[in-house]
């Protein structure tokens, strides 16, 4: 920390106006060194203590055998890589990975597709309809996900749910008393729909706002040159909003990979029974229901490593394009 503080002042003083380099102002110089460090200190302490230390604990725990007995007796039993080998040799783990992959591809793909579509649509609407669309999206977005999940269980309720009622009214008799949470696939369908419903507003509103910053002349010039709307999107709009698009993609992948609340509330805690176990939920089940905290920790470590592999490429793009810039 001290090193970086020193490096920073050197650079600051070289770029600073000369009046700051008066002699005998070393007191000030020290203060200038200290200030940014002090500003960062609370954040560093908090993140270090409340996130950093637990994360370290999780990594350590993943190499331990930690059950209720060890937890209560404060024993540390190191068992090397056996949590990891146990995971990779269990058939459920591969199933969980496959579920998570499909689930994340579906939610992120649909969210970005619909979000981009709505952002482009908003640009083609009049002021009134555009406001209606944004307010509708704000309402969906603002719903706390715990409350939203309870509302969606009510929508898809077997006997009195309005979705079944409407489908039956439309002539689909098969949906009379249909249990949406009876099979893994259909439960995933409802969960995906709900997550996309709440995730689209963030993507659409952000992209729309970004698109409005694209200079109008660019579109007009392209239109005069006879470019089709698709070409205009591909060659003009998209390249300009690409940094934001990449950021939204990375954030969506990270958020959707660790979804917990929605799955837990929508399945009313029966996630494992109907085999709806994306990584975030499986991690919780392994740790708490099975009370094998070591195994749960190993799942968490693997999740982060997988996410790093998937998003690493984009993070590098973000660093290179100057998106990660202080």
Considering only residues 237 through 266, tell me which ones interact with other proteins, judged by CB under 8 A.
243-244, 247-248, 250-251, 254, 257-258, 260-261, 264-265
Q: Which stretch binds other proteins (CB under 8 A): 83-91, 117-125, 178-186, 219-227?
A: 117-125
Please state, in angstroms and rounded to a whole number, the distance separating the CA atoms of residues 269 and 285: 10
125 touching other proteins, by CB under 8 A: yes
303 touching other proteins, by CB under 8 A: yes
Nearer to other proteins, 187 or 256 (CB): 256
34 touching other proteins, by CB under 8 A: no
**Dihedral in degrees, nearest 10, Cα atoms 189, 108, 201, 139:** 30
Q: Tell me the site size for other proteins, rule CB under 8 A.
A: 110
174 touching other proteins, by CB under 8 A: no
The correct pick among 86, 97, 304, 317 for binding other proteins (CB under 8 A) is 304
195 touching other proteins, by CB under 8 A: no
Q: Which stretch binds other proteins (CB under 8 A): 102-110, 139-147, 183-191, 231-239?
A: 139-147
The correct pick among 25, 53, 174, 183 for binding other proteins (CB under 8 A) is 53
Contacts of residue 271, Cβ cutoff 8 Å, sequence gap at least 6: 263, 264, 277, 281, 285
68 touching other proteins, by CB under 8 A: no
290 touching other proteins, by CB under 8 A: no
299 touching other proteins, by CB under 8 A: yes
Angle between helix 145-155 and helix 184-211 axes, rounded to 10 deg = 130
Cα atoms found within 13 Å of the Cα of residue 82, Cβ hemisphere only: 9
Shortest gap between Cβ of 247 and other proteins (angstroms)? 6
The correct pick among 144, 174, 215, 239 for binding other proteins (CB under 8 A) is 144
The correct pick among 97, 110, 165, 274 for binding other proteins (CB under 8 A) is 165
Shortest gap between Cβ of 213 and other proteins (angstroms)? 6
Shortest gap between Cβ of 303 and other proteins (angstroms)? 5
Two tokens, residue 200: 């689209």
Shortest gap between Cβ of 173 and other proteins (angstroms)? 14
Q: Which stretch binds other proteins (CB under 8 A): 11-19, 86-94, 100-108, 217-225?
A: 11-19
Nearer to other proteins, 79 or 268 (CB): 268
């Amino acid at each position: 920390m001290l090193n970086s503080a020193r490096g920073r002042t050197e650079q600051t003083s070289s770029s600073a106006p000369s009046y700051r380099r008066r002699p005998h102002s070393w007191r000030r110089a020290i203060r200038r060194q200290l200030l940014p460090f002090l500003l960062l200190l609370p954040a560093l302490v908090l993140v270090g203590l409340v996130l950093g230390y637990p994360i370290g604990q999780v990594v350590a725990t993943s190499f331990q055998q930690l059950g209720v007995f060890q937890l209560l007796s404060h024993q540390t039993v190191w068992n090397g890589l056996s949590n990891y080998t146990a995971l990779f040799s269990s058939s459920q783990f591969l199933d969980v990975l496959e579920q998570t992959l499909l689930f994340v591809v579906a939610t992120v793909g649909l969210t970005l597709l619909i979000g981009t579509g709505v952002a482009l649509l908003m640009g083609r609407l009049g002021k009134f309809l555009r406001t209606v669309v944004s307010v509708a999206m704000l309402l969906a977005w603002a719903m706390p996900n715990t409350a939203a999940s309870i509302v969606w269980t009510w929508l898809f309720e077997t006997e009195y749910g309005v979705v079944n009622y409407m489908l039956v009214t439309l002539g689909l008799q098969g949906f009379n008393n249909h249990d949406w949470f009876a099979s893994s696939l259909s439960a995933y369908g409802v969960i995906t729909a709900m997550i996309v419903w709440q995730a689209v507003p963030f993507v659409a509103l952000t992209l729309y706002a970004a698109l409005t910053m694209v200079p109008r002349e660019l579109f007009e010039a392209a239109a005069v040159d006879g470019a089709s709307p698709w070409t205009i999107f591909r060659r003009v709009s998209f390249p300009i909003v690409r940094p934001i698009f990449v950021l939204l993609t990375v954030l969506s992948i990270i958020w959707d990979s660790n979804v917990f609340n929605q799955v837990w509330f929508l399945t009313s805690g029966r996630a494992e029974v109907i085999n709806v176990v994306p990584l975030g939920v499986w991690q919780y089940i392994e740790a708490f229901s099975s009370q094998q905290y070591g195994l749960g920790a190993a799942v968490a470590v693997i999740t982060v490593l997988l996410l790093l592999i998937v998003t690493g490429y984009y993070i590098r793009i973000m660093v290179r394009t100057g998106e990660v810039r202080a």
